[in-house]
Structure 1
Amino acid sequence: MIRLDNISKQNGHQILFIEASMGIQKGEKVGLVGPNGAGKTTLFRMIAGENRPDDGQVSIDPGTTIGYFSQDVGEMKGQTAVAAVMDGVGPVSALAAEMAELEAAMVDPDRMDEMEALIERYGEVQHRFEELDGYALEARAREVLAGLSFSQERMDGDVGALSGGWKMRVALARILLMRPSAMLLDEPSNHLDLESLIWLEDFLKNYEGALLMTSHDRAFMNRIVSKIVEIDGGTLTTYSGNYDFYEQQRALSEEQRQAQFERQQAMLAKEIKFIERFKARASHAAQVQSRVKKLDKIERVEPPRRRQAVQFEFKSPPRSGDDVASFKGVHKSYGSQSIYTGLDFMVRRKERWCILGANGAGKSTLLKLAAGAITPDQGSVTIGSSVKMGYFAQHAMDLLDGDDTVFESLEESFPTAGQGVLRNLAGCFGFSGDDVEKPCRVLSGGEKARLVMAKMLFDPPNFLVLDEPTNHLDMATKEMLVAALAEFEGTMLFVSHDRHFLAKLSNRVLELTPEGIHQYNGGYTEYVARTGQEAPGLHPGH
């Protein structure tokens, strides 16, 4: 249904694709993987027709409709979120907007004299709206928005007043409502909470069209796709299976290539040694000549390209007292909205609490209270003795100085650490070679998050408070972070929508629900087994 044949594409000096090919069949669900900057977004844009290959061709079956969701949302304002979602579907939304205008005009006392014309026009518009099944469409738009955690007020409020993350959801809802025959989703899981993520997973599993998507969320990818296309070094390689299967296959083929490379190197060394040894002897001249010719003809095996995944080693943090954080009778409200009324909660040394709860349940509020970023209206939050806190907040990225380079930023934080040590630290967090010379203002969200994380973990705290630490991170950095935090000897309190992260790192669960607050001994995996749900507020078996 969609085919790329021998495409080549260059971006400035960077070669993204060299005679690369791939195909997507009807109804296939495909994951696109590759390091940052490998050309995933360019590939999407070529399929969507926004970009052309320099060579080769992109062919799409006639009659195929394509819905493309990208991180670049564009301008949205002046209408409700529901209207903005219906907009993506075409004429229906224009009719809905006109109906709303006419309804307002019909109750406007200044326009009483136009009443007949208004009513007549309203009848025509409404008739056409019904023909296009507009009422069902609005209901479906609301259903999709509800799935993405929109409240009724948010659906009917001005889309222009929403934050970037919520606008992303509106853009995503547009594509889902369109039900195109093929969907291209670039990082749809990025700005979603756990509930929305699980809803989207369900939606995409039941979607009958073709799907090509990228995601840094391993569990999400594993459950949806049955084929992986990898971009690496300008080529496209297709693996049948989910992400876990792809990883195993990739590791296997790397091992084989490494072994093949080593065998050939040993053989070449032997031949060269023979030539060197006998090249001066007339008696061996013919043999030497034939071996030189043979060596010229051998096709050299390339060593496998190693993906740089450097492990981060924790220094041991100083030991804290046994009581790390204590919440007693905590009340907290925002305006008329009460978040906590009399919360009692205790964090002890070496506990790793993950906090689960639907949007607005107060997850970030709890972290802010623990970190001292806000104070309770009543009650107390006490941090124990010898506790050294590291707090990773969503706004931490805004505090970086845009004029500093990555290296200068690290140097400012750790003036006594040597160059080599800091370069090593930068390397662990994905800044290799010249990347350390980039000024902070040009860094992507993921790069900023990695820099903030590097600063926080280098001189390690013994109490980590992390609000969505994996939000912008790619798969490789996430793996590194999970591996590093698994070795961490201190205490953790965190919010994350990444199930791989939750399962690997938590040993306690605090669940915030409208009915009350529940504490579970045992981590996220045990929580799922005990409650039969992956997130609070979802119905078991959903």
Structure 2
Amino acid sequence: MIRIENISKQLSHRILFIEASAALNRGEKVGLVGPNGAGKTTVFRMITGEEQPDEGQVSVDKGVTIGYFNQDVGEMEGRSAVAEVMNGAGPVSVVAAELHALETAMVDPERMDEMDEIIERYGEVQARYEELDGYALDGRAREVLAGLSFTEEMMDGDVGALSGGWKMRVALARILLMRPDVMLLDEPSNHLDLESLIWLEAFLKTYEGALLMTSHDREFMNRIVNKIIEIDSGSLNSYSGDYTFYEGQRALNEKHQLAQFERQQAMLAKEIKFIERFKARASHASQVQSRVKKLDKIERVEPPKRRQAVSFDFLPAPRSGEDVIVIKKVHKKYGSRTIYEDLDFTVRRKERWCIMGINGAGKSTLLKLVTGSTNPDLGTVALGASVKMGYFAQHAMDVLDGESTVLEMLENQFPRAGQPPLRALAGCFGFSGDDVEKRCRVLSGGEKARLVMAIMLFDPPNLLVLDEPTNHLDLDTKEMLIKALSEYEGTMLFVSHDRHFLGALSNRVLELTPDGIHQYGGGYTEYVERTGQEAPGLRS
């Protein structure tokens, strides 16, 4: 359906692709992977024709329809979320808008003298709407939006009043409703809660078209894709299988390549030693010449490229008392909405609690109560003896000083530390060499998240409170964070929609539901086994 043939592409001074080739065939579900900046979005843009390769070509079979979702959703306002989603389905959305306007006109007392014409036009438009299967489309649009956690009120309200994250869901719903021959989805799992993520997973599994997607959620990727295309140093490498298979195969390939490289290096060293030893002897001249020619003709094996991985190293945290957080009889309301009523909850040393619950259940509110960012209406929230807390919140990235460099931010936070340890810290969190001179305003979301973590962990706390810590992290960085947190000896309280993160790090679950608050010993994996569901909002 789509063929990428011998493409080369350069962006300013950066070479993205060198004679790279790949294909997307009918029915394939493909994960596109590679480090940040490798050119994943450029691949999408070349397929849609928004960009052209410098050399080679990208061809799409005649008549193939393509739906492209990316993070840049553009302006949305003046229509309901349902109308905006249906807009992706073509002419029916225009007819739907006129039908809605005529319905409004029919109950407008100031337009009574036009009523005959309005009713006549309404009949014509309604017939056209039925012809285009509009009523079924409206129902399908609502079904998709409900799957992405929209309430009826949000569906019918002005899309312009929604936050950026919810507008992204509208843009995604538009592509899903369109059901094109090929879907290109650039990070569709961003900004989704766990319930929406699991619904989207089920939707994409039953989608019959071809799919090319990027995602920083390995569990999501594993359950959907049957092929991986990897961008690696200008090449496009294809692997049959899911993300876990690709990881294993890549490691195996690198191991074989290293063994081949080392064997060739040993052989070359032996040959060069012979040439050096006998080059001055006339009796060995022909043998020396023969070996020099042989070396010139040998195709050199390259060593495997070492992937730059962020390495998080925790210094030992001071020991806290046994009771780390004690919450007693807490009540909390926002307006008329009750979040907590008589909440009792205790966290003990070395426990790792993940907080589960649908949107609005009070997950972030609980973290804010613990960190003192908000106060209970009634009851008490107390930290135990010798507790030193580190809090990672989404808004923390917004308060970085845009004009300061990475190094200046660290120096401002730790004026007595001196440059060498701060540069070493920056290096651990992926800011090596000149990267420490980058101003905060030009950092990507992932870089900002890493900088906030570096500041939080330099002088290590013994209680970590984390609100969606992996949202902006790529797969490799997320893996390193999980590895480091696995070795962390303090106490953790966290919210995440990443099932791999939840399963790897939790040993307790606090579930917030409309029926009440439930505590589970054992981590997320045990919670799924006991409840039969991966998220509270999916329970019957």
Q: Which residue of 1 aligns with 2:464?
A: 464
In structure 1, what is the Cα distance between the partners aligned to 2:514 and 2:93? Answer: 35
Partner of 1:371: 371
Moved more, 504-513 or 292-301: 292-301
Corresponding residue for 2:230?
A: 230
SS at 2:538 equivalent: coil
Instruction: Tell me the distance in 2 between the aligned counterparts of 1:417 and 1:275.
Output: 54
Task: Give the structure 1 partner of residue 143 of structure 2.
Answer: 143
For 1:88, what is the secondary structure of its paired residue? helix
Alignment of 1:8 with 2:8, yes or no, is yes
Q: Determine the C-alpha separation between the residues in 2 that align with 1:286 and 1:442.
A: 61
Give the Å deviation of 1:310.
4.0
TM-score calculated relative to the size of structure 2: 0.98
Q: For 1:536 and 1:453, locate their aligned partners in 2 and report how far apart those are by CA, in whole Å.
A: 29
Q: State how 1:512-531 maps to structure 2 within 5 Å.
A: 512-531=512-531
Give the match's secondary structure for 1:26: coil
Q: Secondary structure in 2 aligned to 1:155?
A: helix
> What letter is aligned with 1:230?
E
How far residue 418 of structure 1 moved from its aligned partner, in angstroms, is 4.1
Aligned-residue offset at 1:282: 2.7
Number of the residue aligned with 1:83:
83
Q: Which residue identity is paired with 1:526?
A: E
Matches within 5 A, 1:310-389: 310-389=310-389
Secondary structure in structure 1 of the residue aligned to 2:265: helix
Deviates more, 1:216-225 or 1:449-458: 449-458
Q: Is the 8 A contact 2:78 2:160 kept in 1?
A: yes
* Cα distance in 1 between the residues matched to 2:239 and 2:263: 26
Where does the alignment leave 5 or more consecutive residues of structure 2 unmatched? none
Note the alpha carbon deviations across 1:48-78, whole angstroms, 9 max, x for none: 1211111111111112110000011101111
> Separation in 2 of the partners of 1:93 and 1:336?
37
Output one character per residue of 1:341-373: Cα deviation in whole Å (capped at 9) or x when no partner: 111111111110000001111110111111100
Letter in 1 for 2:130: E
Deviation at 1:111, TM superposition (A): 1.1
TM-superposition CA deviations, 1:93-136 (whole Å, max 9, x none): 11111111111112112111111111111111111111111111
Structure 1 position 377, deviation (Å): 0.9
Q: 2:437 — aligned with what?
A: 437
Q: How does 1:255-270 map to 2 (within 5 A)?
A: 255-270=255-270
Contact 2:310-2:477 at 8 Å conserved across structures: no
Deviation at 1:15, TM superposition (A): 1.3
Q: How far did 1:81 drift?
A: 0.9
Kindly state the Cα deviation for residue 159 of structure 1 after the two structures are TM-superposed: 0.9
Aligned residue in 1 for 2:496: 496
Aligned counterpart, 2:536: 536
The correspondence of residues 127-526 of structure 1 with structure 2, limited to 5 A, is: 127-526=127-526
| CA offset digits 1:213-255 (Å, max 9, x no partner) | 0000000000000100001111101000000000000000101
Structure 1 gap segments, 5+ residues each: none
**Residues 132-182 of structure 1: CA distance to partner in whole angstroms, max 9, x if unpaired?**
111111111111111011111111121111111111100000000000011
Structure 1: distance between partners of 2:437 and 2:313: 23
In 2, the alpha carbon distance for the partners of 1:437 and 1:196 equals 39
Indicate the RMSD between aligned Cα atoms, in angstroms. 1.1
Q: CA deviation at 1:16?
A: 1.0
Match of residue 43 from structure 1? 43
Count of residues in correspondence between the two structures: 540
Equivalent residue letter for 2:129: F
Counterpart secondary structure, 2:313: coil
Q: Superposed, which structure 2 residues align to 1:27-66 within 5 Å?
A: 27-66=27-66
Q: CA deviation at 1:90?
A: 1.4
Shift of 1:505: 0.3
With 250-259 and 306-315 compared, the bigger mean Cα shift is at 306-315
Pairwise CA distance, 1:475: 0.3
Q: For residue 434 of structure 1, report the CA deviation from its aligned partner.
A: 2.2
Residue 287 of structure 1 deviates from its aligned partner by 2.2
Q: Write the distance in 2 (CA, Å) between the matches of 1:90 and 1:60.
A: 21
> What secondary structure is seen at the aligned counterpart in 1 of 2:89?
coil
Question: CA separation in 2, counterparts of 1:216 and 1:428?
Answer: 21
Structure 1 residue 375, shift from structure 2 partner? 0.3
SS in 1 for 2:537: coil
**How many Å separate the matches in 1 of 2:514 and 2:269?**
71
d(CA) in 2 for partners of 1:526, 1:175 = 35
Letter paired with 2:78: G
C-alpha deviation, 1:420, in angstroms: 3.4
Give the 3-state SS of the residue equivalent to 1:537 in structure 2. helix
* C-alpha separation in 1, matches of 2:331 and 2:154: 26
